[in-house]
Amino acid sequence: RGIGAFLGQVLEAETVETLALSGGIAGLLAIIEIVVSGFVLGRLSLLLLAWSVITVFAAWRFFVRYQNWTNTRMGMTQDLVERMVGHRTRLAQEPRETWHEAEDQTLESYIHASHRVDKTGTWLVTAIPRGWLLAGVACLAPSIIVDKSSATSVAVLLGGVLLAQTGLKRLTASFVDVAGAWVSWKRIAPLFQSAARKQ
């Protein structure tokens, strides 16, 4: 590996500590809120379970796209440093009109990967909690209108829906941090493994 790869690993090291602590604690609290709301919701907990499966699928898609985006970004860091180190060789051997073709292609792929990550992350953080709120209230509507349930039971169910929505909102936001920490850890793990070896 070149200097650029090691520089990218060093830059990723700080991300692991920051994101893992903030995302891990928030994610744990969110899971507790979702489990408690499942007990409160009763029959609606099946809908919450189905929504949790959708959330896991969306989180996995985000994770895959985030990993691809990080790989592209790390590759750009490596290429930049290597081109800076070999600048004189490039001046002497590469025609001036082709200097920036590789950079343009790399930037284009990086922008494409960034758009995909942003789109998936926005959908995960905003659409999942809001969609659950709409679905939960829609399932409560028949019991209010047709069954004429008591105000107390409706209030308890509505509180469960709101608690689950808060938990999903916190969980999806924390997953962005956890995914970033995990991808960064995979990048810097070789440094820790090499430090643990005997001299």
Would the pLDDT of 147 be above 70?
Answer: no
Would the pLDDT of 7 be above 80?
Answer: no
Model confidence over 37-48: pLDDT tens digits?
888 888 888 888
Model confidence over 83-118: pLDDT tens digits?
777 777 777 777 777 777 777 888 888 899 889 988
Task: Report the predicted TM-score, pTM, of the whole model to 2 decimal places.
Answer: 0.75
Which single residue is written with the structure tokens 């959330």? 55
Residues 194, 71 contacting (CB under 8 angstroms): no
